[in-house]
Amino acid sequence: MVFYYKQGEVPKKRHTVFMKDNLLLREEVFGLNGFSGRYSLLYHLNPPTRIAKVGEWRNNVIEEWKDSGYRHHKFSTGKLRKSNDVFLDRIPLIFNEDVVISYAKMDEGESKLFYRNADFDEVYYVQEGEAEFRSVFGSIELIQGDYLVVPRGTTYTFNFKRYSELLVIEGRQVEIPRQYRNDYGQLVEGSFYYNRDIKLPNLKTFNEKGDYNLVVKTSQGFQFVVLDYHPFDVIGWDGYLYPFALNVYDLEPITGKLHQPPTVYTTFTANNFVICTFVPRLFDYHPDSVPISYYHDNVDADEILFYSSGQFMSRRGISKGDITLHRGGHVHGPQPGAVESSLSKRGSYNDEVAVMVETQRRVKLTYYAKEVDDPSYPLSWYIP
């Protein structure tokens, strides 16, 4: 995040003795980029270093679909199986050195584990369902259309209140775009969203003993450990680094007489990729406007688009939950007839919701992607 937030009890001065019921609390500096990035200070009832048992190590090497070629793709998440665990068993589809894009279908119920991603920030997009995100910083209630941003190193878990589907994006330095912020970190007038739209965690402290299973994820695998205390033992924290949520229906799209480029829909920036959101909005209203996307070839980027809901004017044969991958160097854009049909919709209302990830480096595909790929998709622009 970019603004200061405080929950619970904290001492007047940092790095000073802080007592609670005759117990000396343990101060943790939770931060990024060594001691030079954003951080928060958390006050624990127990030393956060305490581990009762080191469990198994489980490899997590993503199996690449190496003969996928270099073409456009369409994947159907509707054909994916359910996941047994949102962290251990999410299904990776697209990846490179900077980002991993996965999908998870979760039945109702509480997660049995606590999670911590050591290498990547995580962005969960709630495509369907309802859940409570629980973390060392507190809880956030999630509904359909919510983005949840979890800084790397955060300890958390989930309670799925009903069947849920989630798009999961892992990367580093996931942030609110700098162009939306003034020198003080405040979101400026005319930005895609405002501070009031952001859902922040509400702290709940657990002072419980027992066996609590935590899994720490790296890019290579999962390390299981056992704690003898509940990891959410924080009685207070403050700072600039913490999880938060944002709903796509609270976003404020910028529209105009003529077509706006995808950059106006940038929602989060990250290391070598961006996340954009196409949301319900008015179509272009110039009397001669073409209210539909350009033909473009994304020479310097690969474009991943997740179709969440609504009518997708530029595409036929797209279903809710589909993912397209448009390769840099291959032209893509409206399918035959889409430009002509769009002319009658100038100034009308478009109800589509879609999540776009645009990468600066080429992506690879997994064998899970091969199982749900439509090999005819590259020919969808062709009419004999």
The binding site for homogentisate comprises 332
Contact assessment for residue 193 and residue 181, using Cβ atoms and an 8 Å cutoff: no
* Helix, coil or strand: residue 237: strand
* Helix, coil or strand: residue 331: coil
| Per-residue burial over 110-147, b = 16 or more CB atoms within 10 Å of its CB, e = otherwise | ebebbbbbeebbbbbbbbbbbbebbbbbbbbebebbbb
Spatial distance between the Cα atoms of 152 and 117, rounded to a whole number of angstroms: 5
Contact assessment for residue 111 and residue 85, using Cβ atoms and an 8 Å cutoff: yes
Would you list the DSSP string of 31-46?
ESTTTTS-EEEEEESS
Residue ranges of the annotated binding site are 296, 302, 332
Q: Is 259 a catalytic residue?
A: yes
Residue ranges of the annotated binding site for Fe cation are 296, 302, 332
Q: Which of 324, 308, 332 is closest to 372 using CA atoms?
A: 324
Catalytic residue among 15, 230, 259, 330: 259
* DSSP classification of residue 356: E
Q: Which of 351, 343, 277, 346 is closest to 312 using CA atoms?
A: 351
Annotated catalytic residues are 259
